[in-house]
Structure 1
Amino acid sequence: MTTNHLLEIKELGQSIWMDNLARDLIKSGDLKKLIETRGLRGITSNPAIFEKAIAGNAMYDADIEAGINAKKPLLEIYESLVFEDIRNACDILKPIYDESGGLDGYVSIEVPPDIAHDTEKTISEARRYYAAIGKENVMIKIPGTSKGIPAVEQVISEGINVNVTLLFSVNSYVETFWAYIRGLEKRVEKGEDISKIASVASFFLSRIDSNIDEKIDAKLKQGASEPGSRERLLTIKGKVAIANAKIAYQEYKKIIQSDRWQALSAKGANVQRLLWASTGTKNPDYSDVMYVDELIGSDTVNTLPPATIEACADHCNVADRIETDIEEAYNLIESLKDPDININLDEVMDELLVDGIDKFVKPFQSLMKSLEDKVNRLATV
């Protein structure tokens, strides 16, 4: 009998979620099948995913026509399509939510990406999305920008589950966890329950390596001037994202040992788990499951694209590695400052955040355009 390595991962305290959602996945029964056969325990979505799901898919046409007949504006039609998919996925994952006591079984939906730098609009939209969808196992995704972090604190204080997305730097992750803590503390001050609130911090991986590898390749092409620098540059290729993630996990451990967290834990608070995102390997020279194998550990989530789910079920090498090679991880990150490497990690993280928002804004705009075209076409039929 073939071993499903995804089920082994669950035994080590990590939950596997899927980074994909479309109506045909729900209607065909494939989502239920993935839960049963692949141990899937949650779903994340984003504007890029919905663009692929809705654009050119006739499955949505009847609902689009209903929106046209009801004279709904374009944004309302879009939301009616997306909210229905989210609700139906929440219903399918509800048994996982119940069985896990609210640890898993969540479906994430992102607030409009073009408000990533507006705290008040983010708070307002998070409230509206949460109320409109009306499912206790929905998570609202909020980008971890400087304006997004205060929004996280506020909506957590209002009892809304949050998936903080687009986290690249360890400092951003730490800020995210403290925002979660402050939100919970506000609820405690008001005498409100904190035991039913969940949050994950989506820490991105492959995009970091893609960015840094590109910088390394450029340095190699120019000709490394320092003796041995070529070899040093080659040794860090494809290694920074995992090292960065392992350091983030060490920060997680420090925070949960703090007095402030322990006080919340005593009142029933759930930890904000690190969620490994952007885990599809982009470089064909690397293992297609490298961002799974190296980051398995307790109290974490890994959200995988469908191809990585199947690859991992087939050939993941499962072991608890989240706390292995920690000293090497710190040394590797520190080595980026060395003159013969000279890569500014803070600048890389800033670039990635700007680019990450852009990667959500453009598909959102493209989706709205293709939806508008479809509305115009169906309206004249």
Structure 2
Amino acid sequence: MTDRLGELSAAGVSIWLDDFSRERLDSGSLQELIDTSHVVGVTTNPSIFGKAMSSGDAYTEQLRELKATGAELADIVTTLTTDDVRAACDLFTPIYLATEGSDGRVSIEVDPRLAHDTQPSIEQAHLLRDLVDRPNAYVKIPATREGLPAITGALAAGISINVTLIFSVERYTEVLNAWMDGLEQAHDKGIDLTDLHSVASVFVSRTDVEVDKRLDALQSQEARQLKGKAALAVARLCNEAFENAIASERWQTLAGYGARPQRPLWASTGTKDPGYRDTLYIEELVTHGTVNTMPEKTMQAFADHGEVRGDTVRGTYDTSREILDAVEAAGVDMVDVFAVLEREGVTKFIDAWEELMTTLQDQLDKL
């Protein structure tokens, strides 16, 4: 029987699960994915936590205990989420140790309502790092304009960061600069850079959803032929930007201090268009030294019929530029696309967070 996920892992792609819940921990589901599907990390976000806490009774007993203490709702949410992440970090510790910190990672996001507030984001990154209290935890900070200095500030304090909600090559390049700024400041403070890790999460499928919608509106054969190509082009050019950064003299200096590369992470890799191959954003983004975080449904699809055809990223950069140029020439304003995607991404996470708060309040009222 072909071990397709094993082939993907052997190609240098770290397989992370884009889903998490206490039920996964308690039932052994997460451990099974580690044992059978080459899963070496897990990512969370407000939507994932909201879904986990709105179903089942895995949190009921702890909610009852927290209610008895008179804790505020925001503190209860923080306690529940950091407890889950800490337990998952413990589960992944053997992988963390075996990979010298590259994998075995679990992410927890700052309150999405802070996406446009730099200093409060840095302060919450400190809080979450301290509450989880595990070396293999990542704190997620969105790559908004205000998030960039927060990323630098958190890294400068020795906090490992998962940068999230990246949609454009331009913003990704700014993230690379913010990351290296943070490393340089951390080094100046005497922080050991070998223990400071980061990934940069480029969201993939959402780009095709927005671009394809605009291409359809143009009602031309030329425009329709470009559908399903923009997201991969953006991700591949982000990888080129990463390669350029790693080849720079600035990075070589940091590497000499023991710094680790900020690996590109492909997020939002489940296809939204049923007309596309369900493993599209896995198969076409295979290159060594990257992470692909997948919904379980997509992971299962790849295990069943995915294909590893060697490196599908390097060597595509010129073609990727031509694709994005063609999309622009057809009449799609990509700058506006990226602005809309970032704005919608932040809004979706805020809505999910507030829905989570409402759900927990309703559960507390019923206890």
Indicate whether the TM-score tops 0.5. Answer: yes
Shifted more, 271-280 versus 54-63: the winner is 54-63
Shift of 1:336: 2.1
Structure 2: gaps spanning 5 or more residues: none
- Tell me the CA shift for residue 57 of structure 1: 2.2
Give the letter for the 2:161 counterpart.
Answer: V
- State whether structure 2 residue 354 is matched by structure 1 residue 365: yes
Equivalent residue for 1:289, pick from 262, 279, 285? 279
Alignment map for 1:12-23 (pairs within 5 Å): 12-23=11-22
Aligned pairs for 1:268-279 (under 5 A) are: 268-279=258-269
Which deviates further from its counterpart, 276-285 or 186-195?
A: 186-195
Residue in structure 2 matched with residue 24 of structure 1 by the alignment: 23
Do the aligned residues in 1 keep the contact of 2:230 with 2:327 (CA within 8 Å)?
A: no
Contact 2:4 2:306 in 1 (8 A): yes
Give the corresponding residue for 1:328.
319
Aligned residue type for 2:22: R
Which residue identity is paired with 1:335? A
What is residue 167 of structure 1 aligned with on the other side?
166
Provide the alpha-carbon RMSD of the alignment: 0.9
Asked if 1:46 is matched to 2:39, the reply is: no
8 Å Cα contact 2:41-2:104 kept in structure 1: yes
Corresponding position of 2:149: 150
Displacement of 1:231 in angstroms is 2.5
State TM-score, norm by structure 2: 0.98
- The 1:264/1:322 distance shift into structure 2, 3 A limit, reads same
Runs of 4+ in 1 over 2 A off after TM superposition: none
Q: Offset of 1:337 from its aligned partner?
A: 2.5
SS of aligned partner of 1:142: strand
The answer for the alignment partner of 1:239 in structure 2 is: 229
Does residue 353 of the first structure (1) align with residue 332 of the second (2)?
no
Q: In structure 1, what is the equivalent of residue 305 of structure 2?
A: 315
Q: Structure 1, residues 52-72: CA drift from partner, whole Å, max 9, x if none? A: 000132111000000011111
Shift of 1:217: 1.5
Query: May I ask how many residue pairs the two structures share in their alignment?
Result: 366
| Distance (Å, rounded) in 1 between the aligned partners of 2:144 and 2:104 | 26
Note the 1:205-284 alignment, pairs <5 A.
Answer: 205-220=204-219, 230-284=220-274
Partner of 1:343: 332
Counterpart residue number, 1:84? 83
Deviations 1:88-144 (A, max 9, x none): 110011110000011101000100001100001100000000001101000000000
- Rounded to whole Å, the distance in 1 between the matches of 2:316 and 2:169 is 17
C-alpha separation in 2, matches of 1:366 and 1:188 = 40
What secondary structure, in the 3-state scheme, does the structure 2 residue paired with 1:15 have?
strand
1:73 to partner: Cα distance? 0.8
Q: Report Cα offsets for 1:35-56 as digits up to 9, x if no partner.
A: 0100001000000001100013
SS in 2 for 1:96: helix
Q: Which amino acid aligns with 2:247?
A: Q
Cα distance in structure 2, aligned partners of 1:176 and 1:299: 18
SS in 1 for 2:272: coil
Q: Tell me if the contact between 2:223 and 2:327 (Cα under 8 Å) persists in the aligned partners.
A: no
Q: Which residue of 2 aligns with 1:196?
A: 195
Secondary structure of the corresponding residue to residue 349 of structure 1: helix
Percent sequence identity is 38
Could you tell me how far 1:81 is from its partner in structure 2? 1.3
* Corresponding letter in the other structure for 1:167: I
| d(CA) in 2 for partners of 1:263, 1:333 | 33
Distance 1:325 1:70 in 2: 57
Aligned-residue offset at 1:370: 1.1
Of 312-321 and 152-161, the range deviating more from structure 2: 312-321
Matching residue's letter, 2:91: I
CA apart distance, 1:287? 0.4
Counterpart-to-counterpart distance in 1, 2:224 and 2:315: 22
Separation in structure 2 between the aligned mates of residue 125 and residue 260 of structure 1, nearest angstrom: 29
Looking at structure 2, the residues matched to 140 and 335 of structure 1 have their Cα atoms a distance apart, in angstroms, of: 37
AA in 1 matched with 2:354: Q
Secondary structure of the structure 1 residue equivalent to 2:328? coil
CA distance in 2, matches of 1:217, 1:183: 42
Secondary structure at the aligned position of 1:51 is classed as: helix
Structure 1 equivalent of residue 292 of structure 2:
302
Alpha-carbon shift at residue 150 of structure 1 (Å): 0.2
Match of 2:363 among 361, 366, 374: 374
Matched-pair contact (CA < 8 Å) for 2:50–2:356: yes
**Paired residue secondary structure (1:295):** coil
**Deviation larger for 72-81 or 197-206:** 72-81
- Counterpart residue number, 1:227: none
Provide the secondary structure at the position in 2 that maps to 1:98: helix
Partners of 2:94 and 2:261 lie apart in 1 by: 21
